[in-house]
Amino acid sequence: MTTKVVAITGASSGMGKAAVQLFAQRGWIVYGGARRVEKIPTGANIHPVKLDVTIDESNQNFIHVILTEQHRIDVLINNAGYGEGGPVEDVPISNVRKQFETNFFGAAELTKLVLPTMRQQTSGRIVNISSIGGDLYMPLNAYYHASKGALQQWSDALDIEVQQFGIRSVIVQPGGTQSSWGKITMDNIRKNLKPDSAYLQFATMIGDALDSANGAISATSADLAKVFYAAATDVKPKHRYFHSFSDRLVVRIARAYPRMYRAAFMAILKHQEKKSSR
């Protein structure tokens, strides 16, 4: 039986790092790509490769290394991503372009590079790591939500195109996780706030709300890695994968009842505003 080959981007931390370890433990040949290649796990079956998904040549080299050494690729997990937070008015457009290069265009480029091989194999799985933020939204993260929404629409369209070749494109939508992602996002919000920004007080209030929410998060990167594995290996894959029932429920409510979601969010903001003014 041929050993399966998986390529995972964003493999140096968080969910990507945990996924590298899990797939390797389960006997897969794993190629982990990240800019900080020294932080990618090492061990039997793990092949760390330096990768910057915003650079075409780096993407091409990543896939070339895998195909040269293994002559096949069974699963591509597009996990690299980050949140470029801040008020729409304050975030530089150059930062927005970088956000889309990482969260969307990098995934699109890597997928284009693996599809010819997957078509020849008549099998393959593209696992796109989005977020419940691909369907939900909150202030000071508009550009992040836009990038994840784009990834999801693209992935759904791709899935219909490639099913005829035995390939599937599926989406994982994590909610909050115990990782550095939330801190990095808040750091970006603060970085992008202009000293004289009209949104300084509002950003402080949102930051307090996020800190409260992060304290209640129980899902770990290892938990999400198991969801990645299911998305990569299910014989009859779902269109969407969630870690918890609550994540799935809030997305369904937001999609089915957008006014209800908005009203609930505004109520939370008003409550937080009262707390902040005490």
Q: Is the dihedral of CA 262, 238, 78, 25 positive or negative?
A: positive
Q: Which residues of 253-266 are buried (b: 16+ CB within 10 A; e: fewer)?
A: ebeeeeeebeeeee
What angle do helix axes 200-214 and 258-276 make, rounded to 10 degrees?
100
Q: Is 198 helix (H, G, I), strand (E, B) or coil?
A: coil
Q: Please, are residues 64 and 111 in contact by the beta-carbon 8 Å criterion?
A: no
How far apart are alpha carbons 63 and 13 in whole angstroms?
Answer: 20
Q: Please, are residues 175 and 219 in contact by the beta-carbon 8 Å criterion?
A: yes
Instruction: Show the tokens assigned to 68.
Output: 């040269």
83 alpha carbon, distance to own chain's centre:
10
Instruction: Show the tokens assigned to 92.
Output: 């530089």
How far apart are alpha carbons 62 and 177 in whole angstroms?
Answer: 28
Q: Please, are residues 134 and 145 in contact by the beta-carbon 8 Å criterion?
A: yes
Count of other CB atoms within 10 angstroms of residue 273: 13
Beta bridge partners of 124: 167
Active site residue ranges: 12, 130, 144, 148
